[in-house]
Structure 1
Amino acid sequence: MIDAHHHLWDPSRRDYPWMAGDALDPIRRPYTVEDLRAVTKAAGVHATILVQTVSSAEETEEFLELAAAEPVVAGVVGWVDLTAPDVADRLAALDGPLAGIRHQVETEPDDDWLLRPAVLAGLGAVAAAGLTFDLLVRAPQLPAAASLAARLPELRLVLDHAAKPPIAAREWEPWASGVAALAAHENVVCKLSGLVTEADWSGWEVGHLRRYVDHVLDVFGPGRLLFGSDWPVCELAASYEVVVDAAIALTGSLSDAERLAVFEHNARAAYRLDASGDTPSRG
């Protein structure tokens, strides 16, 4: 099993703007690689993808150094300033198992931020470097994401958290249509991740997630869906093992081969990991 989405952080060393508010107090503490080893071992996870948490080149360099020394971390989805004129050089200078790049687009006030000329140029450099781009977007930004997929078909896009469906509110549109339009582009895959924290943290059940998971399974298919825990954010609503168990239950209708794709092979393909799931390759 490969966990294609998790984080590490230390609020005593770095500010995390998204962590503001009393509701996030339960996870406002350091989460270390030792913590990661413990939860992944208990859940039977072989390898992971460590994903950026802030717009910080320093954090990305730290994560790459950690991943190079830590067997369980197969690769890093880091951050780079996509609008920088020398973005290609900045990507080339990142040393270590870099698997992709992410920007927290969901926090941008412009829903069309992805389509700005400077951003498109930066994403072209990401594609040229053989890296993925993780899409952290919500429903209002899905049309721009679909347009991006069409404009840069050579760029591998990974939709994080299924675009954060409105599970707690039991809403459907425009999320469902936006996800379906994005899924029409073959260069996009989707993470089965982050759903428990889009539901009611204290009262969610697997059944509350099913309609949304069935939709992404329908529009992406099991060949373009990959599992991610979104740990430790998930701890606001569920433990690591409960998240794994929920994902297994929600994919219970799949064949063994399809499940193997969702929980292992699709992550290898998306992030170009080698056969052991340990080393991403660029180019």
Structure 2
Amino acid sequence: MTVDAHHHVWNLSVRDQEWITGPELQPLRRNFGITDLARVAGAAGVDRTVLVQTVTVAEETPEFLALAEESPLVAGVVGWTDLTRPDVAEELARLLEVPGGRRLRGIRHQVQAESDPGWLLRPDVRRGLAAVAEAGLVYDLVVLPHQLPACALAAADHPGLTFVLDHLGKPPIAEGTLDPWASTVRELAALPNTVCKLSGMVTEADPARWMPDDLRPYADTVLEAFGPDRMMFGSDWPVCTLAATYGQVLRTAEALTAGLAESERHAVFAGTATRVYRL
């Protein structure tokens, strides 16, 4: 069994993806649906997936939950809601009751787009994070390296909430530098309520010329810091197609974890995601 803990879908006739701008992202300016995913995931031997939010639009999450309810492939959804709204607890309860709401497993906000590096520490956001924990959900972190210190403080403030770091915290792979990313990601990993996705690396590298060895120092850093039982594979499809096919991303992750024991590889490619997202 293999679980893809991080992918997206979108239909531009339903909603524009305003972040898809500029010539480099133009290959993504088309529809990517569950049928497209099922074709490439099935060919790669992936059995279950987690569908993750793409835009900060309230209507997207119920749509994703309905898709998951109809799909035998999508086992969980990480959606979005405004953590700062006064009635966030009531909104989370409502989402859990909509069609497919039983597939809601987590919440994510585009923290990487926030100008305040301490956004996660704002009182209204902290109240929202507490509501996420109370609802029995996890919180996905999509952040840039300079925001990692705030992630660690937020995780320390909410020991009952599991924080899942997407894309290793987007290290500067194309630049070939490790610090200060490595030191700050280790601080986050020191907290037991944190998990990391082995995802998003190929698009943080040089998309035209990356090699698995370019990714290895970053993969090794998080595997050592979090341990395999707190790591999970994610394709980041279809964003990954800017630099690699779905199969290439999976094979690269397998190569980067080839030195692990069989039980540790099972954790990365199935066990951790199944446990954390309750798939």
2:258 counterpart of 1:233? no
Tell me the residue number matched to 2:146.
Answer: 140
Distance 2:226 2:77 in 1: 24
Distance 1:188 1:266 in 2: 12
Unaligned runs of 5+ in 1: 274-283
Matched residue SS, 1:124: helix
Structure 1 residue 115: deviation in Å? 0.3
The answer to whether the aligner puts 1:267 opposite 2:273 as a matched pair is yes
- The answer on 1:186 being equivalent to 2:192 is yes
Runs of 4+ in 1 over 4 A off after TM superposition: none
State the number of aligned residues.
273
Q: Once superposed, what is the RMSD of the aligned Cα atoms?
A: 0.7
For 1:92-241, what aligned pairs fall within 5 Å after superposition?
Answer: 92-94=93-95, 95=98, 96=101, 97-241=103-247
Structure 1 letter corresponding to 2:60? E
Amino acid corresponding to residue 50 of structure 2 in structure 1 = I
Q: Distance in 1 between matches of 2:29 and 2:13?
A: 9
- Aligned: 1:51 with 2:52: yes
Output the TM-score relative to the length of structure 1. Answer: 0.95
What secondary structure, in the 3-state scheme, does the structure 1 residue paired with 2:31 have?
Answer: coil
Question: C-alpha separation between the residues in 1 aligned to 2:11 and 2:147?
Answer: 29
- The 2-side partners of 1:17 and 1:209 are apart by 29
SS in 1 for 2:76: strand
Instruction: Show the counterpart of 1:26.
Output: 27
Question: Equivalent residue for 2:37?
Answer: 36
Deviation at 1:57, TM superposition (A): 1.3
The offset of 1:173, in angstroms, is: 1.5
Secondary structure in structure 2 of the residue aligned to 1:168: helix
Q: Deviations over 1:7-52 (max 9, x none)?
A: 0012233122321111101111000111011011000000000000
Aligned to 1:81: 82
- State the alpha-carbon separation in 1 of the partners of residues 150 and 93 from structure 2: 27
Distance in 1 (alpha carbons) for counterparts of 2:110 and 2:12: 18
State the secondary structure of the residue aligned to 1:19. coil
Indicate yes or no: 2:57 matched with 1:64.
Answer: no
Which amino acid in the other structure matches residue 192 of structure 2? E
Deviations 1:172-212 (A, max 9, x none): 11111110000000000000000000000000000000000
More deviation in 156-165 or 13-22? 13-22
Q: Which runs of 5+ in 2 are unaligned?
A: none
1:51 and 1:198 mapped to 2: Cα distance? 19
| In structure 2, C-alpha distance between the alignment counterparts of 1:272 and 1:128, rounded to whole Å | 16
Identity across aligned pairs (percent)? 58
With structure 2 as the length reference, what TM-score do the two structures score?
0.97
